[in-house]
């Protein structure tokens, strides 16, 4: 049984925004999702998390099975044991997911206390450990979100997302706001979590190089559909669909490779 | 020098953007890149030093003079988070055309449609709210909004980080096209984009510029350990970035 099996996912407004998307992810597996802006990558993630905007709904034929359990049709209470505890998520725009009036360390400690059942003191200590794990200085716990740069806010959210040791982490452009040195550290952190806890990862990114580095499997989306899928090596080095080919060509046009190769020789 | 709260964020920063040039600003998360850009707009007070934009020292502007400077739009900012430049309660087209509307320009709707097409968006998007379009679409609308006042200096703070590779190419090509009419400060963590569009690069680390030079030199022959770490950490399609061990060793030198 796969950890995550999405079958025939569709998301509708008055028109379909996502159609016929199938995804399979094994325990500890890594799936990259790349594709055009507006192609439905974030809506696909939100469907798996059960957090679609209220005006949108999934189609009747859609099935989303997580660890053998059908998630579509669950009510808010039914979702509770899955979202956050077993399926964590980090999105782009970190600012909109933090409470502006609460110190960030407390926001993490609250999650550990309420969801993880830790005592006040244990939650505070664990929060500090988690901040260190994502490369945040201990003093950051006392800061408010507006005092942190976008990249620092994103690290706080990653710490919150992995704090419950979920089976699946959905990272939607999660490292986009980070400088590449921190990005490399966060990707190392995710690799460690995979190794230690068998964390599976859905990674949405516009950066094909990040996907190449992290993911075994890749799907390419366009106009709400999957247009190509395969191993990362196949899809990113020998793309077949014309759209994927244009993505890879665009990457080459503004990739760092050509400048760096000069340095490496 | 610029401080926020009691902390000094930027120290002794010297940076020049000439007309017809795109200067890259790269550096650590939290190193002060956005703070620097906001200072050039007059959004953060510059306590020591000066910042001349199109002949005006922004550091010396206060009150009405500052408001007028900002309204004229000689400096425009494309934010890291596009939700900051687009009013969440207004249709995208209204935010894009705001400066024209304020000036009572004719045919605002038609000009907005043109501005949207120019950044690769469907003009029908003008009627939707920012929350109803994707992140990438929002960022392109924010760029359209910044360009309508014909600015002399464009501050692009992660302008393409929310875009897919093909729309990113379109926007980067657009910025390159605009280079002859507007000097640009291009802030990005995406070293590939920086390498592709900039003439020079400055590296900001802990509020100081630790390295500055022509793009090929900074990326190809980094001098400062932080720049070396930064360039080496960039992932590539072939997977040949610096090992975890080498990165840790460089970090230890900082
Ligand atoms: N609440 C909504 N109401 C109406 N349309 C929406 C809504 N949310 C998303 N859409 C539309 O659905 C499509 C898919 O959006 P989605 O955010 O999933 O794209 P994406 O692939 O994540 O794009 P990006 O790479 O730019 O983040 C887009 O055309 C978007 O405009
Ligand atoms: N309003 C504020 N009050 C106090 N400190 C602030 C404020 N805004 C930012 N800072 C601090 O200023 C420093 C520089 O932040 P800035 O946003 O300029 O970084 P950045 O280089 O743009 O980072 P990123 O690459 O993550 O966007 C950070 O250490 C941040 O914590
Ligand atoms: Mg998205
Ligand atoms: Mg910034």
Domain CATH number, residue B61: 3.40.50.300
Q: Where do the DSSP E strands lie in A121-239?
A: 168-172, 200-204, 217-222, 225-231
Claim to verify: residue B157 and residue B146 sit in the same structural domain: no
Claim to verify: residue B130 and residue B167 sit in the same structural domain: no
Spell out which residues of chain B touch residue A157, defining contact as CB-CB under 8 Å: none
Claim to verify: residue B146 and residue B41 sit in the same structural domain: no
Q: What is the pLDDT of residue B6?
A: 60
Claim to verify: residue B109 and residue B179 sit in the same structural domain: no
Cβ distance B165 to A208 under 8 Å? yes
Angle at A22 between CA A14 and CA A210, to 5 degrees: 105
**Cα–Cα distance for residue pair B225/B232, rounded to 1 Å:** 10
- What are the pocket residues of ligand 1 if the criterion is a CB atom closer than 6 Å to any ligand atom? A 13, 17, 37-43, 53, 55-56; B 132-136, 162, 164
Question: Nearest residue of A to residue B196 by CA position?
Answer: A254
**Domain presence at residue B137:** yes
> Do the chains contact at B163 and A37, CB–CB below 8 Å?
yes
**Domain presence at residue B47:** yes
- Burial letters B106-132, b for 16+ CB under 10 A, else e: eebeeebbebbeebbbeeebbeeebee
Q: What is the pLDDT along chain B (254 residues), one digit of tens a residue?
A: 566 666 677 877 888 899 999 999 999 888 889 889 998 988 888 888 888 888 888 888 888 999 888 888 889 988 766 777 789 999 999 999 998 888 888 899 999 999 898 878 899 999 999 988 876 788 788 888 988 888 899 999 988 877 777 778 878 887 888 888 889 999 998 898 999 999 999 999 988 999 999 999 999 899 999 999 999 998 888 777 788 899 889 988 88
Q: Report DSSP letters for chain B, one per residue.
A: -EEETTEEEE-S------TT-EEEEEE-TTSSHHHHHHHHTTSS---SS--EETTEEGGG--HHHHHHHHHHTSEEEE-SSGGGTS-TTS-HHHHHTHHHHHTT-S-HHHHHHHHHHHTT--GGGGGS-GGGS-HHHHHHHHHHHHHTT--SEEEEESTTTTS-HHHHHHHHHHHHHHTTTSEEEEE-S-HHHHHHH-SEEEEEETTEEEEEEEHHHHHHS--SHHHHHHHHH---TT-----HHHHHHHHHH-
More confident residue, A121 or A255: A121
Taking only residues 241 to 260 of chain A, the set having a beta carbon closer than 8 angstroms to any beta carbon of chain B reads: 246-248, 250-251, 253-260
Taking only residues 60 to 79 of chain A, the set having a beta carbon closer than 8 angstroms to any beta carbon of chain B reads: none
**Cα–Cα distance for residue pair B48/A220, rounded to 1 Å:** 50
Last residue of a domain, one of B150, B184, B202: B150
Dihedral, CA atoms, B236, A151, B10, B52, nearest 10 degrees? 70
**Domain presence at residue B82:** no
The residue assigned the tokens 């942190």 is A148
SS (H, E, C) B176-229: HHHCCCCEEEEECCCHHHHHHHCCEEEEEECCEEEEEEEHHHHHHCCCCHHHHH
Given pLDDT bands bounded at 50, 70 and 90, which one contains residue A260?
low
Cα B96 to the center of its chain, rounded Å: 17
Spell out which residues of chain B touch residue A38, defining contact as CB-CB under 8 Å: 133-134, 136-137
Distance from the Cα of A81 to chain B's closest Cα (Å) equals 28
Last residue of a domain, one of B150, B177, B192: B150
**Domain presence at residue B79:** no
Distance between Cα A145 and ligand 2 center (Å):
10
Distance between Cα B79 and ligand 2 center (Å):
14
Claim to verify: residue B156 and residue B51 sit in the same structural domain: yes
Distance between Cα A152 and ligand 2 center (Å):
9
Claim to verify: residue B62 and residue B162 sit in the same structural domain: yes
| Total domain count, chain B | 2
Claim to verify: residue B182 and residue B120 sit in the same structural domain: no
Given pLDDT bands bounded at 50, 70 and 90, which one contains residue A220?
very high
More confident residue, A257 or A62: A62
Distance from the Cα of A58 to chain B's closest Cα (Å) equals 17
The residue assigned the tokens 């690799």 is A191
Please work out whether the CB of residue B37 comes within 6 Å of at least one atom of ligand 2.
no
**Domain presence at residue B184:** yes
Residue A177 parent element (H or E): none
Residue B206: count of CB within 10 angstroms of its CB: 15
- State the residue range of the domain holding B27: 2-74+151-253
**Domain presence at residue B244:** yes
Q: What is the CA radius of gyration of chain B?
A: 19
The whole-model pTM stands at 0.83
Taking the CA of residue A239 as centre, how many other CA atoms within 13 Å lie in the half-sphere pointing to its CB?
22
Looking at CATH, the fold of the domain delimited by A2-253 is given as Rossmann fold (3.40.50)
Last residue of a domain, one of B104, B134, B150: B150
Claim to verify: residue B19 and residue B59 sit in the same structural domain: yes
3-state percent helix, strand, coil for chain A, nearest multiple of 5: 45, 25, 35
Spans of all domains in chain A: 2-253
Q: Tell me: the pLDDT tens digits for A11-61?
A: 999 999 999 999 999 999 999 999 988 899 999 999 999 999 999 999 999
Cα A158 to the center of its chain, rounded Å: 9
**Domain presence at residue B81:** no
Q: Determine the atom of ligand 2 nearest the C-alpha atom of B27.
A: 21
**Cα–Cα distance for residue pair B144/A130, rounded to 1 Å:** 40
Residue closest to B145 by CA, chosen among B84, B207, B187, B196: B84
Claim to verify: residue B105 and residue B155 sit in the same structural domain: no
Spell out which residues of chain A touch residue B137, defining contact as CB-CB under 8 Å: 37-38
Claim to verify: residue B137 and residue B237 sit in the same structural domain: no
Spell out which residues of chain B touch residue A39, defining contact as CB-CB under 8 Å: 164
Claim to verify: residue B130 and residue B158 sit in the same structural domain: no
Claim to verify: residue B186 and residue B172 sit in the same structural domain: yes
For residue B2, with 0-12 CB atoms within 10 Å meaning exposed, 13-18 middle and 19 or more buried, which class applies? buried
């Amino acid at each position: 049984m796969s950890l995550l099996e999405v079958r025939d996912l569709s998301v509708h407004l008055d028109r379909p925004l996502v159609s016929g998307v199938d995804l399979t992810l094994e325990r500890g597996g890594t799936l990259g999702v790349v594709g055009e802006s507006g192609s439905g990558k974030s809506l696909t993630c939100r469907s798996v998390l059960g957090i679609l905007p209220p005006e949108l709904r999934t189609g009747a034929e859609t099935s989303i099975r997580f660890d053998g359990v059908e998630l579509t049709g669950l009510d808010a209470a039914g979702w509770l044991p899955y979202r956050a505890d077993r399926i964590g998520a980090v999105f782009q725009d970190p600012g909109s997911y933090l409470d502006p009036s609460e110190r960030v360390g407390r926001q993490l400690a609250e999650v550990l206390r309420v969801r993880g059942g830790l005592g006040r003191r244990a939650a505070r200590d664990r929060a500090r450990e988690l901040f260190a794990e994502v490369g945040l200085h201990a003093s950051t716990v006392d800061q408010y979100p507006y005092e942190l740069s976008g990249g620092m806010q994103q690290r706080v959210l990653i710490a919150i997302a992995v704090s419950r040791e979920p089976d699946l982490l959905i990272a939607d452009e999660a490292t986009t706001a980070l400088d590449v040195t921190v990005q490399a550290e966060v990707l190392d952190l995710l690799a460690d979590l995979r190794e230690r806890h068998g964390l599976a990862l859905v990674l949405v990114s516009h950066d094909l190089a990040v996907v190449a580095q992290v993911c075994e499997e890749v799907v390419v989306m366009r106009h709400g559909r999957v247009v190509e899928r395969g191993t990362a090596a196949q899809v990113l080095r020998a793309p077949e669909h014309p759209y994927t080919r244009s993505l890879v060509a665009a990457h080459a046009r503004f990739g760092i490779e050509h400048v760096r190769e000069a340095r490496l020789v | 020098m610029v401080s926020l709260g009691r902390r000094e964020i930027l120290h002794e920063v010297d940076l020049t953007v000439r007309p017809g040039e795109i200067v890259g600003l790269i550096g650590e998360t939290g190193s002060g890149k956005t703070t620097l850009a906001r200072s050039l707009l007059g959004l953060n007070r510059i306590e020591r030093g000066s910042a001349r934009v199109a002949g005006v020292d922004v550091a010396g502007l206060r009150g009405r003079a500052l408001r007028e400077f900002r309204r004229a739009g000689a400096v425009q900012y494309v934010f890291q988070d596009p939700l900051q430049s687009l009013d969440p309660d207004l249709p995208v087209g209204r935010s894009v055309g705001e400066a024209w509307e304020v000036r009572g320009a004719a045919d605002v709707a038609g000009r907005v449609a043109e501005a949207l097409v120019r950044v690769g968006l469907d003009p029908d998007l003008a009627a939707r709210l920012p929350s109803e379009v994707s992140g990438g679409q929002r960022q392109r609308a924010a760029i359209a909004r910044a360009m309508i006042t014909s600015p002399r200096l464009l501050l692009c703070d992660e302008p393409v980080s929310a875009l897919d590779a093909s729309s990113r190419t379109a926007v980067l090509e657009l910025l390159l096209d605009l280079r002859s009419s507007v000097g640009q400060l291009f802030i990005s963590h995406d070293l590939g984009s920086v390498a592709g569009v900039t003439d020079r690069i400055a590296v900001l680390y802990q509020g100081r510029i630790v390295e500055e030079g022509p793009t090929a030199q900074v990326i190809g022959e980094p001098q400062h350990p932080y720049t070396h770490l930064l360039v080496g950490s960039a992932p590539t399609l072939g997977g040949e970035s610096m090992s975890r061990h080498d990165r840790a060793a460089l970090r230890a030198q900082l």
